[in-house]
Amino acid sequence: MTSIDPTNPSATVTFDSPIPILRMFDEAKAREFYLDFLGFSVVFEHRFEADMPLYLGISRGSLQLHLSEHHGDASPGSTLFIPTHNIELLRDELLGKGYKYGRPDILEQGWGKVLEVYDPFGNRIRFCQQ
C-alpha cells in the first residue's frame, strides 16, 4: 500500500482545468464564430504540413478550447457546460455583434441561467450561471 505524504503536494495526483477539443470542418467558419463572434484569441495553430488539417488552440480569459480538423479527434454534436459569471454581459456583447447565424438569449432554469450558442459544426456551447 502506498501512503501519500500530505506535506509534499508533488506526491499527490492533481488536475488542471480540462481543455475540450471540438471538431471543425471549415477554418474560415470556425474563425468567424469563435474569434469574431465569441471573442476568443488564437493561442497557437498547428499543421503537420501546409495542406494538412488545422489544430487550433484558442482562449478567452481562463477558458481554453482546442478546435481540430483532424478526423477522429472529436465528434461533432458535442455539448460544453461552461460555468460563467456575468452572463447578461456576455449576452449583451454577443447580441451587439449582430451575428448572422444566431441571436442567443438567456433561459432561466430552476437552478440558474443558461445562454446557448451553436457553432457551425453542430457543437453546443452552454454558458451557465448559478
Exposed e or buried b per residue across 116-128, where buried means at least 16 C-beta atoms within 10 angstroms of its C-beta: ebebbbebebebb
Cα–Cα separations (whole angstroms), residue 62 to 20, 39, 96: 13, 13, 23
Has this prediction a pTM greater than 0.75?
yes
Q: How confident is the model at residue 118 (pLDDT cuts 50, 70, 90)?
A: very high
**Model confidence over 56-93: pLDDT tens digits?**
999 999 999 999 999 989 988 999 999 999 999 999 99
Q: How confident is the model at residue 24 (pLDDT cuts 50, 70, 90)?
A: very high
63: alpha, beta or left? (left if phi > 0; alpha if psi -120 to 50): beta
CB 94 within 8 A of CB 104: yes
CB 128 within 8 A of CB 114: yes
Cα–Cα separations (whole angstroms), residue 60 to 34, 37, 52, 72, 84: 10, 12, 26, 25, 12
pLDDT (average), residues 26-33:
97
Asked if the model's pLDDT at residue 103 lies above 80, the reply is yes
| Structural domains of the chain in order of their starting residue, each with its CATH number | 17-129 (3.10.180.10)
Asked if the model's pLDDT at residue 6 lies above 70, the reply is no
CB 50 within 8 A of CB 110: no
